[in-house]
Amino acid sequence: MAESPTILVIGPRWVGDMVMAQCLFSALKQLYPNAGIDVMAPAWAAPLVGRMPEVRQQIEMPVPSGKLELGVRRRFGRMLKGRYDMAYVLPGSLKSALIPFFAGIPKRVGHLREMRYGLLTDIVPLPEKQKRRTAHGFFSLARGGSFQAPKLTVDGANQAELLARYGLVEGAFVAMMPGAEFGPAKRWPSASYAGLARAMMAKGLRVALFGSRNDSAVTAEIAELAPGCVDLAGKTQLVDAIDLIAAARLAVSNDSGLMHVAAAVGTPVVAVYGSTSPENTPPLAERRELVWLQLSCSPCHKKVCPLGHMNCLNTLDVERVLQAADHLIDAPAAA
């Protein structure tokens, strides 16, 4: 293997998974310090990948998520022939391994998942207990190096401009991320977030609500129930959310992509879990509180509660999350 290999990574399609993919990138840089690492991912990922110093460039995935489009994958793969020494395929689908195969990349690494014999040259074992531990699963593909938590860079100038634009002060506001693209079984109720927001504002802290346009209905409801919140859902780009969340005193979030962003910029995180487990996808933050009722029916890993009651989140009271938040707010910062 060359001392300066060129590496193509087929990246995941979720924000949180892309953040956790940095565990692989950092391990590869430890093994091959002079490697050129390119990440193929949807267009939305470019700002996020751009905050990872290990990555040389992002290549936009030429096929929409979920589509096979075999001819497009074949043509694109052939365009990449001769450019890469190694490929790492992070998604588990068969189709995600096709472009590196058509590109003729000599070493193609991934977990087996959808019977990808022949498409991959190096199938890395994935024990059953590791299948939902996303960050460690990605890291295992490197077959070496030490595990390092994701660390995104922050643009100080952009951060200062954004804080001034929205009337926020660094260290004097709480970032709340009440959405979850995966589905409603991950979302703590809006009324509960509103109760927590009111409690935070009563302590003299401002509250900023973050999310995509898809979360705007949820954040609008919270803002109505807790007047004074700064509702930024759908109003900022992902790169802006990264910089603003990095300035927060604390982040409170469902198990979501922005939860992993908060951890990766060093913001203390209170993570609320319902249908998923903190044992599998915890925020990899030095300062964190994991709040989970551990009911007998959870984790079910379903998008919608199969029992219809969603007690794992509906019965999680504000006081319990507030205590976790107070613990992080009152604890001295790490040296």
What tokens does 88 get?
A: 């790492």
Task: Determine contact, residues 270/253, Cβ cutoff 8 Å.
Answer: yes
Q: Are 54 and 26 in contact (CB under 8 A)?
A: yes
Report residue 2's pLDDT band, with 50, 70 and 90 as the boundaries.
low
**Across the chain, which distance is largest between two alpha carbons, in Å?**
61
- β-bridge mates for residue 270, sequence order: 252, 289
Task: Tell me the C-alpha distance between 175 and 154, whole Å.
Answer: 16
The ranges assigned to domains in the chain are: 6-140, 156-330
Q: How confident is the model at residue 42 (pLDDT cuts 50, 70, 90)?
A: very high
Residues 149-189: pLDDT tens digits?
Answer: 999 999 999 999 999 999 999 999 999 999 877 667 788 99
Using a pLDDT cut of 70, give the percent of the chain over it.
98
Indicate the pTM of the whole model: 0.94
Question: Do 6-140 and 156-330 come out as alike in CATH topology?
Answer: yes
Q: What is the predicted pLDDT for the residue at 301?
A: 84
CATH superfamily of 156-330: Glycogen Phosphorylase B; (3.40.50.2000)
6-140 fold: Rossmann fold (3.40.50)
